[in-house]
Amino acid sequence: MEGKSGLTERSPDGMLTRPSLVSSFILMPKSGRDMYLDLSLSSRLVEVTLEVLSQHHKTNDWRTIDKESDPLPDIPHLDRSMLTPGVVRGLLKDYHRFVRPKYDIVELDILSHDGIHLRKLPEMRRFQILMACSISAAQKTYKSPNWKPFAHTCREWANDFIAPIICAADADSMKAILLLLVYELADPTRGIIWELLDVARRTCLQLGWNRTASNSNDFTGNEESVSADPVRTHLMCVLREIEGSLRTVSNRPILLIEDMSYCAPEKDISSILYNKLFHATYGTSRIGDAESCPFVGEVSGLLDRADVIADASPASQEIWLVLLATCVRHKQCVACYQEPDDQQGKGMRTLRRKIVRAAAELLSNTHRATFIEEEFVSPIIACSRALISGCSLATAIVKRWTSFQSHFRDLILCSEILTFFSSHWKGGQSYLHAWQTIMDLLHSHMEHRS
């Protein structure tokens, strides 16, 4: 779509459609083409930011934000014999240190494999070792590109065993799908993460893992044992963690799991609260919309719950950024009015401060995870968190909710994250280009203001 925001909309088959009044992003590739993913939080906040900048910076020279991405470079071929026992042991060790704390899928006895006689192992065991190695190698490519062939070779080798494992539709199938999902988070160049999520959901439904024996219409002793299965509970936690981490990238409903004991309560509550707030603000049901007052009706109750669970986690910080459009588009009313010197009361000024604080903290956490701390980082998730945080701060600066000087460093952090990951997935270049456009307009606005 080429409209006021300068964004371009494409249909699912990659064809340009006629302009409309809302913005969208082309986020992931599929079969050599771009795949349309609906209006995510990232695209909505870019739209809001450009809307604000256009009101303060009059220009007819909009740059198109969605540009044709440069093709990703070919990956050099690596013979499987190069996966020596020492390389395998090192990659499994890195998986245990950096990936397992976040996505605990592979058992410790597999991660302790000595790397010898890999070809003689049972297929499921060999598959898990190869996937763990491919994920570790993919993480290393961010700073050491020479690991890319190792990641690709391990992933292609594991591909030999995928079909029979997944067709079995059992716990091993779910493990395999989750490992494939984590690899896609680490190396999104294949663009199949959404298809894999659908496969995971179908497998979950096939196994009946989304319900408990107590609420099943066809109660059996076997269902009771499945419901109490710790492996099932554990793997469902991982699936929900992956789904929740992608919520700002794609506006997809989360898998309905009736047994709420599967996940850590704080993570589950954050995901549910985020989705309710997103759909109350932007959803087609129009319970609320981006112009409604957030201090009346359902949204007000959701904000009260957000205050209760507020912490420094990215999940909590993302919740507040959903309200950026409301803070921009809602005209002040009695319910949200707040005196200028009221620093602790409930009103629009306090909400704006919470959004600015959450954006700065989310940027800081994402930057630290990317460049300082040794932990699993996904290019898709890091770029999305950086972009929504940067848009929130840029909007706040233009609207004078905060000062440019207070967040100059945060804007640099956003640029560093998006630049670092831009070459690691096709959508990364579009995200970076969008941010560069916003920064150009913001600098012009600040020069005009001074």
- Domain for residue 398, yes or no? yes
CA distance 166 to 150: 24
The two three-digit tokens of residue 167, written as one number: 């067709």
Closest C-alpha to 247, from 37, 23, 41, 25: 41
Length of the chain: 450
CA distance 3 to 193: 29
> 296 and 407: one domain?
yes
> 394 and 283: one domain?
yes
Kindly state the helix (H) or strand (E) to which residue 26 belongs, with its residue range.
Answer: strand 26-30
Q: What is the pTM of this model?
A: 0.83
Structural domain count of the chain: 2
CA distance 290 to 350: 18
pLDDT tens digits, 79-104: 888 889 999 999 999 999 999 999 99
- Domain for residue 360, yes or no? yes
Q: Which residues contact 367 (CB under 8 A, 6 or more apart)?
A: 386, 413, 416, 417
Give the residue carrying structure tokens 């740059």. 63
Give the residue carrying structure tokens 């409309």. 20
> 337 and 432: one domain?
yes
Instruction: Say how many C-beta atoms besides its own lie within 10 A of residue 231's C-beta.
Output: 12
What local confidence, expressed as pLDDT, does residue 96 receive? 95
> 238 and 293: one domain?
no
> 93 and 191: one domain?
yes
What local confidence, expressed as pLDDT, does residue 437 receive? 95
> 319 and 436: one domain?
yes
Digitized pLDDT (tens) for each residue of the chain, 450 residues in all: 333 333 333 333 343 333 333 333 334 444 333 343 457 899 999 999 999 998 866 544 444 555 555 555 666 678 888 889 999 999 999 999 999 999 999 999 999 999 899 999 999 999 999 999 999 999 999 999 999 999 999 999 999 999 999 999 999 999 999 999 999 999 998 889 989 999 998 998 888 887 653 444 443 444 444 456 788 888 988 998 998 899 888 777 666 544 444 444 566 678 888 888 888 888 754 444 567 888 888 888 889 888 888 777 888 899 999 999 999 988 888 888 887 777 777 889 999 999 999 999 999 999 999 998 788 999 999 999 999 999 999 999 999 999 999 999 999 999 999 999 999 988 899 999 999 999 999 999 998 887
Q: Return phi, psi of residue 33, to 5°.
A: -120, 170
> 316 and 241: one domain?
no
- Strand, helix or coil for residue 400: coil
> 172 and 275: one domain?
no
Give yes or no for a contact between 227 and 259, defined as CB atoms under 8 angstroms apart: yes
> 283 and 241: one domain?
no
- Domain for residue 328, yes or no? yes
- Domain for residue 22, yes or no? no
> 204 and 274: one domain?
no
Sign of CA dihedral 180, 186, 187, 191: positive
CA distance 226 to 231: 9
Give yes or no for a contact between 427 and 25, defined as CB atoms under 8 angstroms apart: yes
- Domain for residue 180, yes or no? yes
What local confidence, expressed as pLDDT, does residue 87 receive? 94
CA distance 272 to 342: 31
What local confidence, expressed as pLDDT, does residue 396 receive? 97
> 174 and 98: one domain?
yes
Q: Which of 219, 246, 273 is the last residue of a domain?
A: 246
Domain that holds residue 120: 79-211+229-246
> 287 and 408: one domain?
yes
- Domain for residue 189, yes or no? yes
Enumerate the β-bridge partners of residue 343.
none
Closest C-alpha to 326, from 352, 284, 290: 290
Give yes or no for a contact between 124 and 108, defined as CB atoms under 8 angstroms apart: no
CA distance 184 to 135: 9
- Domain for residue 176, yes or no? yes
- Domain for residue 51, yes or no? no
The two three-digit tokens of residue 259, written as one number: 């047994």
- Burial class of residue 24, CB neighbours in 10 A (0-12, 13-18, 19+): buried
Question: How would you classify residue 117: left for phi > 0, otherwise alpha for psi between -120 and 50, otherwise beta?
Answer: left
User: Helix H segments across 187-264?
Assistant: 193-207, 221-227, 230-245
Q: What b-and-e string marks burial along 384-420, b requiring 16 or more CB atoms within 10 Å of the CB?
A: bbbbbbbbbbbbbbbeebbebeebeebbebbbebbeb
What local confidence, expressed as pLDDT, does residue 266 receive? 61
